[in-house]
Amino acid sequence: MEELHLLPGERLDNINENLRLIQKTDGLTFGTDAYLLAAFLRTVSQTEAAELGGGTGVLSLLALSRQKASRTVVWEIQPEFADLCRRNAALNGLAHRMDVVCGDVREIRGEQKLDLVYANPPYMKGSCGKENTVSAMNIARREVHGSIADFCGAADRLLKHGGTFSLVYRPDRFADLVCALRENHMEVKRVVFVYPSLANRPCLVLAEAKKGAASGMVLAPPLCIYTDAGKKTYTPEMDRIYETCSMEFLFPGTERNRK
């Protein structure tokens, strides 16, 4: 593993017993949505993958360390975060399995050969809500450098027929997501709506789409993060997800193994 060297405005966090993560104190940090998406990805033996919008690189680090992908290419448009992805990969001994490209997802011209593409894309439209004073946060949260249709288009160009695109998104824009996927030759196959608690509306939606597939979707039971509205105790399901980094138990009878 690479020797640790923190730059001004950075900190080091332990993600789990195996991964450490350099994060910017005033930038995008590791959150529940990234971990849930990592758990949502299927565990497979050999998968060539790509991530659209890497941030710190934590999602790909989890995917690689948890056998969700054998190799991955991370696309990140912000140079400082592309560099951070490379440093985090080296820090965790995964640089040989994770390539980083500093580029715009709208400019991706793929060879349609990948098994898996995954993304934690910007949730908000460019003109939606109050802008963040930190430019990096605006780019991560708002469609400044690509809409959901652009991210789906990039996935379509990268995936082979039968490949999957998995992502985490906002429930109130689920219709936009489904339409964008269908316009780019993908059909939603698995969905999980995530709730803070049963007293709240859903806060996230996890979706897996398959390129070239017929319509037909499996909807998992609602996933609640906390047992109470006070958000003090995780549900048994969340404890299991944090322990295993897997959601396969939410889809009994639908498991598949790919080589």
Higher pLDDT, 184 or 231: 184
Q: How confident is the model at residue 30 (pLDDT cuts 50, 70, 90)?
A: confident
Give the per-residue pLDDT at 138.
45
Rounded percentage of the chain residues whose pLDDT exceeds 90 = 73
End-to-end CA distance of the chain: 29
Give the per-residue pLDDT at 110.
80
